Amino acid sequence: MGLAGLLSLPIVFATVVAHAPPLVKVLGVAWFALGLAAPRIFLISLALLMPLFGNQPGGLGPSGEPFPTYLPELGLMGFIVRDLALRVAGRRRVRPLAINGLVRLFVLGSAITLFAQHLHIYCEAVTRGTGFFYGIYTHYQTAPVYGAKTMLDLLLGASLFAALRDAPPPPAWRRRFWLALAAGLLFASVAGLADYFGLASLEFWRGQNPEILVFGYHRLQSFFWHSGWFAEYLAAAGPIVMVGALCGGLQLRNAGPNAENAAPGGLTPTGAIHRARYWWIAVAVLGITQLFTYQRGGWISLSAGLGVVFLMWLADEAPGRRGKALKAMAGAGVIALATVALSALAIPALRDRLKHIVSASDRLLIWRSAIGLGQTHPNSGVGIGNYAFQYKGFYQPDHPYYLLETGTAHNTILHVFAERGWILATIYVAIIASAIHLIWRSWRKEIAIIKQVESTNNPSSADAAVIVRGESMLMMGAIIALVVYGVVQYVHFIRVVDLIFWIVLGTAAGQVAIPNAVDATAGSSRRRYMSWAWCIAGILIAGVLGRDMSRFNQQWLMYAPDGRNFIPAGKEARIDLPPEGTQFSIPVFASYPNEDHYPVTFEFEFGGAQLGVEQFEKPGTRDVVIKLPDLRTPDEPLVIRSSHAWRPYGYRNRDVPILEAGVCYREPIALE
């Protein structure tokens, strides 16, 4: 975001804090200061506390007040302000990677699609004033300005990616971060199990979700508002624990005095064997926790993430040990299946979910509805963060899709397509593929280093490149888990899950070594050509998306009690009449919300001459007939003036993005 972000983020932070509750003010300022002054400690605190902020955007806490899901954002703003200040000062260079261009194009294209909500955002800003950003962070996803919040999340996420890419924390700090993430996840899992089995209650924190109660049975949701969102978080962070179990803990290879300043790297699968048993207990706890979320996508995605970690670990094991490892894992699998079977026998609801573990019948209609919505604007989509608001307007009550899930597409790629078009959906897939490539390349490189060191019988020679095998394994597991879960859910809806995505991307990019002076000179020409290529691609994509957005329907209507829709205007409306005809019928609507506004007078004027007056004593519609002079100027408009106007946006009527409504009319009908 550069200088613009450095100047604007403190303003955003200040306005959010100014309107937040007192306790959130204190915590927000403290977290912002921590991100600004001690970024590594902030990241560890974020990893520990993320499970506490698994509520939905705009969701309410037990007290009925907006849940402060934006609190981690306040700390993240301090972290990013520090990074931007260093960039502006020229003290932080960008690692030249292909994924950089993909992320920039994705952010640029997403910003262009925000145009679909620009009228709503303008009205919201004028109406709320300094409370605009606080309102953005406390709106539900059906709000017509939700795209502003989604765009701000994307900017902060991409900035977090850039900060971790260009200034990766030392290996010891990265180890602490992953351990903190695992500790926070295990705490949330144990607390969730206690809540599920009635040993404790977490309703003081997140209330009771009525969407869970309708199923007629309890689901494990921990501190999250929905069990599905906790299942997403668990699947994304669970591979960390699996790495600890397979590798006997998350241990640094070089534990000497230079460990803090080691070359870019991370974790190693070496460690005390006796520690592994505790990690395996933690894996079992996560498995049981995921089972009782009743989330089929969670079961499959966690299994996929842990399975990828195991396969990567197995690939590097000595051939003689692979057979023993496979037998041990097979035994663990049998125990896990027996546990699931016994639980299913004891719990009928769980048994029913297991019977339909691979059924997609409940998703097919939702996916089709998302495709239908996206096809209205296939290049640009309906606008970032605009899915829920557009859905309820696009599918009317008589449509079979009307009663389906309207919040998300329940598929990450389809959701991106519906909101931002096929171009950005393709770029999103390319970002995922690029991240997997970076992690795989880093893992293979460090495996080669390990073998080279072992062949020389001089382990200390590896100190120049700290082994990143364990870190690559856990990141690959996290990415695969999110990709698999993304088949049945939009995994970027819950912010803490979205943050894990950007942290993994940034850490993976940060593992790539910075070219030395010779290599940098040799590759400068290639990077120059690639920069031009990215610029041209950005211009072309901006042109396509901008052209599509310019055609976006921005004609907003007011709906009268008789079911007809009317075009809203301010205190005065100037209406072009057909050149032929001298008598017209013009439907008008007095839309004022309460009795204090009445009586309301509409005056009809043409060519400076008054043609009639209509007075309304209460809300209603009338078809007013006017007769024009025999000699009329063809391009002369009909003017309708209202005695006064009102502000629909100020009355929480935020579906219609107009600041002032007075005259509401329909197109004139020629009578003769």
pLDDT in tens, 552-600: 766 677 777 777 888 888 888 888 888 777 888 899 888 887 777 788 8
pLDDT at 272: 43
Answer yes or no: are the C-beta atoms of 383 and 110 closer than 8 Å: no
Q: Is the pLDDT of residue 318 over 90?
A: no
- Which range among 3-12, 430-439, 522-531, 570-579 shows the weakest confidence by mean pLDDT? 522-531
Q: Which of 102-116, 209-223, 392-406, 443-457 has the highest mean pLDDT?
A: 102-116
Give the CA angle between residues 238, 239, 240 to the nearest 5°. Answer: 90
DSSP class of residue 617 equals: S
Answer yes or no: are the C-beta atoms of 164 and 503 closer than 8 Å: yes
Q: Over the stretch 489-509, which tens digit does the pLDDT of each residue have?
A: 999 999 999 999 999 999 999
Mean pLDDT, residues 630-651:
80
Cis peptide before 648 (omega within 30 of 0): no
pLDDT at 188: 96
Structure confidence at residue 517 as a pLDDT band (50, 70, 90): very low
Beta-strand runs (E) in 164-227: none
Structure confidence at residue 180 as a pLDDT band (50, 70, 90): very high
pLDDT at 260: 42
Q: Is the pLDDT of residue 473 over 80?
A: yes
Q: Is the pLDDT of residue 430 over 90?
A: yes
Answer yes or no: are the C-beta atoms of 631 and 607 closer than 8 Å: no
Instruction: Name the percent of the chain lying above pLDDT 90.
Output: 43
Answer yes or no: are the C-beta atoms of 654 and 143 closer than 8 Å: yes
Q: Which long-range contacts (CB under 8 A, 24 or more apart) does 605-613 make?
A: 605/638, 605/639, 605/640, 605/641, 606/632, 606/636, 606/638, 606/639, 607/632, 607/633, 607/636
pLDDT at 271: 43
pTM for the full predicted model: 0.87
Give the CA angle between residues 546, 654, 421 to the nearest 5°. Answer: 30
DSSP class of residue 262 equals: P
CA distance 62 to 384: 30
Q: Is the pLDDT of residue 206 over 90?
A: no
CA distance 590 to 661: 10
221 in helix, strand or coil? coil
Answer yes or no: are the C-beta atoms of 207 and 64 closer than 8 Å: no
Token digits of residue 412:
């990450």
pLDDT at 451: 67
- Let me know how long the chain is: 672
Answer yes or no: are the C-beta atoms of 298 and 235 closer than 8 Å: yes
Mean pLDDT, residues 234-253:
81
Give the residue from 184, 314, 190, 278 showing the smallest Cα distance to 236.
184
Mean pLDDT, residues 157-172:
92
pLDDT at 466: 38
- Label residues 487-518 b or e (16+ Cβ within 10 Å = b): bbbbbbbbbbbbbbbbbbbbbbbbbbeeeeee
Q: Is the pLDDT of residue 626 over 50?
A: yes
Q: Return the higher-pLDDT residue of 360 and 303.
A: 303
Question: What is the CA 115 to chain-centroid distance, rounded?
Answer: 18
pLDDT at 356: 75
Mean residue pLDDT across the chain = 84
- Which range among 206-210, 301-305, 345-349, 580-584 shows the weakest confidence by mean pLDDT? 206-210
Question: What is the CA 317 to chain-centroid distance, rounded?
Answer: 38
Structure confidence at residue 255 as a pLDDT band (50, 70, 90): very low
pLDDT at 620: 84
Q: Is the pLDDT of residue 457 over 60?
A: no
pLDDT at 396: 80
* Residues 476/227/394/551 CA torsion (nearest 10 deg): -30
Mean pLDDT, residues 132-142:
90
pLDDT at 330: 85
- Side chain identity, residue 435: A
Structure confidence at residue 78 as a pLDDT band (50, 70, 90): very high
Q: β-pairing, 572-575 with 638-642?
A: antiparallel
CA distance 560 to 57: 31
Residue with tokens 């394994």: 473
Q: Which of 148-152, 217-221, 467-471, 602-606 has the highest mean pLDDT?
A: 148-152
DSSP class of residue 258 equals: T
CA distance 199 to 190: 11
- Cβ neighbors of 599 (< 8 A, separation 6 or more) are 615, 616, 617, 643
pLDDT at 672: 73
Q: Over the stretch 30-51, which tens digit does the pLDDT of each residue have?
A: 999 999 999 999 999 999 999 9
Q: Over the stretch 360-418, which tens digit does the pLDDT of each residue have?
A: 677 888 999 999 999 988 999 999 999 998 888 788 878 888 877 678 999 999 999 99
Mean pLDDT, residues 102-128:
91
Answer yes or no: are the C-beta atoms of 570 and 140 closer than 8 Å: no
